[in-house]
């Protein structure tokens, strides 16, 4: 059995590929909504975050023979837990990481190394910050916005728990855009104009994550874009589904 840690659209397609090839797959999603998105792909599904001891126990109980880490490029903690679990149980670990967006050399693009730096850069560049990086680090951006008397508009998943977190942190409904992406250039442009954005904040999540269209829309409107650079890639990370399938076929006892 292959365990696939899913956190992206790529992960769901990988599960679909493996099932189509005849492999027995256990797909893990961090949230119930992630599990719902996986339901149509024919794999057994489990939901909820896994601590290291829980992942080790799962690998042993389900006799997992190989783990595919297809979590988000910025989900460092989950990937580290997965690597440790594989080392402890002595099973192969394969990291799938989608290609990032090649950023144009443009004076409106400002690259930063972490969320804290991005928050400070954003409030320096504009009084209305349109945040597209999700809700997990929302407190960092809110603190910077409040300190500098800036408006923060956040685009997040329309999940009850996510909206509740936004409200608990003090965000007004007028500053919450609850939509699931990725978004087209046209929709990004319309939203930036509607909320009178003065600066846009994004991760470099690649074309699949909508980074390309966000940046293109912002540049069309002459808006500065703050990009949070990816964490350093692991040596040996696989960047295409075709190469991943080839690597899995090379492993013994995976089917």
pLDDT tens, position by position, 198-235: 999 999 988 777 899 999 999 999 999 999 998 877 66
Same-domain check for residues 144 and 198 = yes
Pair (18, 34) in one structural domain = yes
For residue 19, the number of C-alpha atoms closer than 13 Å in the C-beta half-sphere is: 18
Residues 66 and 173 in one domain: no
Same structural domain, 130 and 224: yes
- Given pLDDT bands bounded at 50, 70 and 90, which one contains residue 76? confident
Task: Annotate 223-249 with b (16+ C-beta within 10 A) or e (fewer).
Answer: bbbbbbbbeeeeeeebeebeebbebbe
Do 13 and 59 lie in one domain? The reply is: yes
Q: How confident is the model at residue 92 (pLDDT cuts 50, 70, 90)?
A: very high
Domain count, the chain: 2
For residue 29, being part of any structural domain is answered with yes
Report the CATH number that the domain containing residue 213 is assigned in CATH.
3.40.50.720
Query: Cβ contacts of residue 242 below 8 Å, gap of 6+?
Result: none
Note whether residue 104 is domain-resident. no
For 96, which DSSP code? Answer: B
Which residues lie below 8 Å from residue 105, measured CB to CB, with a gap of 6+? Answer: none
Burial class (CB in 10 A: 0-12, 13-18, 19+), 43: buried
How far, in Å, CA of 242 to CA of 199, rounded? 37
Give the chain's mean pLDDT: 91
d(C-alpha 205, C-alpha 202), whole Å:
8
Is residue 252's pLDDT more than 70?
Answer: no
Return the H-helix or E-strand segment holding 253. Answer: none
Mean local confidence (pLDDT), 132-156: 96
The verdict on 28 and 94 lying in the same domain is yes
Distance CA(191)–CA(184), nearest Å, equals: 11
Do both 63 and 163 map to the same domain?
A: no
Q: Would you place residue 255 in the very low, low, confident or very high pLDDT band (cuts 50, 70, 90)? A: very low
pLDDT at 101: 80
Q: Which of 62, 89, 199 is nearest to 28 (CA)?
A: 62
28 lies in the same domain as 75: yes
Mean pLDDT within 121-128: 98
Residue 255 lies in a domain: no
Residue 170 lies in a domain: yes
Q: 116 and 132 in one domain? A: yes
Q: 3-state DSSP call for residue 177?
A: strand
Burial class for 37, CB neighbours closer than 10 Å (0-12, 13-18, 19+): middle
Pair (185, 81) in one structural domain? no
Least-confidence region, from 7-11, 22-26, 56-60, 65-69 = 7-11
Q: Which of 23, 48, 45 is nearest to 36 (CA)?
A: 45
Does 125 share its domain with 170? yes
Q: How far is CA 55 from CA 39, 61, 79, 80, 158, in A?
A: 21, 10, 12, 12, 28
Residue 236 domain-assigned?
yes
Domain containing 203: what range?
A: 109-228
User: What pLDDT does 31 receive?
Assistant: 83
Whether residue 45 is found in the same domain as residue 92:
yes
């Amino acid at each position: 059995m292959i365990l696939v840690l899913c956190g992206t659209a790529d992960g769901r397609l990988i599960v679909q590929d493996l099932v189509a090839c005849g492999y027995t797959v256990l797909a893990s999603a961090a949230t119930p909504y992630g599990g719902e998105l996986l339901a149509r792909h024919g794999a057994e599904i489990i939901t909820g975050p896994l601590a290291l001891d829980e992942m080790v126990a799962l690998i042993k109980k389900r006799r997992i023979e190989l783990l595919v880490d297809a979590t988000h490029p910025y989900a460092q903690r989950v990937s580290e837990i997965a690597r440790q679990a594989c080392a402890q149980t002595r099973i192969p670990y394969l990291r799938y990481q989608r290609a990032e967006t090649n950023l144009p050399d443009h004076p409106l693009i400002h690259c930063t190394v972490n969320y804290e730096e991005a928050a400070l850069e954003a409030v320096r560049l504009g009084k209305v910050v349109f945040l597209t990086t999700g809700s997990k680090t929302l407190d960092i951006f809110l603190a910077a916005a409040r300190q500098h008397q800036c408006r923060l508009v956040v685009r997040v998943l329309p999940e009850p728990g996510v909206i509740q977190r936004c409200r608990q942190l003090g965000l007004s409904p007028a500053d919450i855009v609850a939509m699931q992406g990725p978004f087209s250039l046209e929709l990004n442009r319309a939203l930036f104009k509607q909320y009178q954005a003065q600066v846009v904040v994004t991760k470099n999540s690649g074309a699949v994550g909508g980074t390309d269209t966000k940046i293109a829309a912002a540049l069309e409107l002459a808006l500065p874009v703050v990009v949070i650079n990816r964490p350093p890639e692991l040596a040996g990370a696989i960047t295409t589904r075709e190469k991943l399938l080839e690597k899995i076929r090379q492993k013994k006892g995976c089917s």
